[in-house]
Structure 1
Amino acid sequence: MNEWPALLQRAQQGDKQAYHRFLTAVLPFLRVRARRYVTAQHVEDFVQDVLLTLHRILHTYQYDLPVEPWLSGILRHKYYESWRQLPYGAHQPLADDESWHPAQAFEEESQERAVRRLLAPLSEEQALVLYATKVEELSVSETANLVQRSTAWVKVNVHRAIMLLRAELHEK
């Protein structure tokens, strides 16, 4: 996934090998995400339709933006566009959670290590409130109740944690 933006940028410049490598790499992602929109028997047709659209609008990708949300937008658009074309009952309702989820699930251990490594520069309190609000998706008031602090304190510490992590990322 990390090489997708570079491959897309090269594909936009006419590099056929990069385009082929991108399509090969992105196909599993598209198949997994397509299962959210159509039944299993229609996944391949839906993915082929998405690939045709991707080919047609390749020039719209902006290389400084993440690829996954761009692809998810294409999938969602094709879902709505194809609503009348697929047979009755072929569509599955969209999940309530429209947020992006990685195509490749991490093993639980490696995910925990990655989160610990990411939160390492933060104080214990900042790490706790950032994890609660951004990973566990608790509201600010729920997090405030959890840590027995005010909502303003939680907001300030989440903001400070994010700013510190941004600074860490820019240093690397």
Structure 2
Amino acid sequence: MFTGIIETLGRVDKIEIEQSNIHYYIASDFASELKIDQSVAHNGICLTVVAIENNIHKVTAIDETLLKTNLKDLAVGDIVNLERCTQANGRFDGHIVQGHVDQVATCISKEDQEGSWLFTFQYDPSLNNITVEKGSITVNGISLTVVNSLADRFSVAIIPYTIEHTNLKHVGVGTTVNLEFDIIGKYVSKIMALRN
């Protein structure tokens, strides 16, 4: 489990394709602290560390993950949000994040509001995921609060600290991001659907 509070940024050092799998080599300042078989969220996607050398760790994405996320769009040099799983004795600063991406969205607006930024993301509503105003949403692994909520889009207001310490600074109109909708909302939605 994760909280959506990004620990550090990683950089894609190398990409290898092996049949339908893609191996990503990620350079970061905490790679030497990782362990083989550890779960780490990469842009909100929970991936298992399979190798570590110096300041680079390796993870593998299978076809199912590549189909549902923006991992397939990564190129060498791209910046990735990284978070290790939360410790049971740690503070819970974000919200419950599983590292299981529900779908992708596209940035359709990025407005500079003189001290903050307002991002609007559009997604496919046919998958029945929902947001609510003042509810939680995970964008590229970042725990954020929804400002405006519509059936196929939502907005989030971003403070300067978050822009500087995540890869949102590289997100612009047309950029694809990973979304994980609030798990509590997903359960409530499922229960309500079963009652009808």
TM norm. shorter chain > 0.5: no
Instruction: Give the TM-score taking structure 1 as reference length.
Output: 0.26
Instruction: Give the TM-score taking structure 2 as reference length.
Output: 0.24
Between structures 1 and 2, the one with greater strand share: 2
Whose relative contact order is higher, 1 or 2, with alpha carbons under 8 Å and at least 6 apart? 2
Larger radius of gyration: 1
Between structures 1 and 2, the one with greater helix share: 1
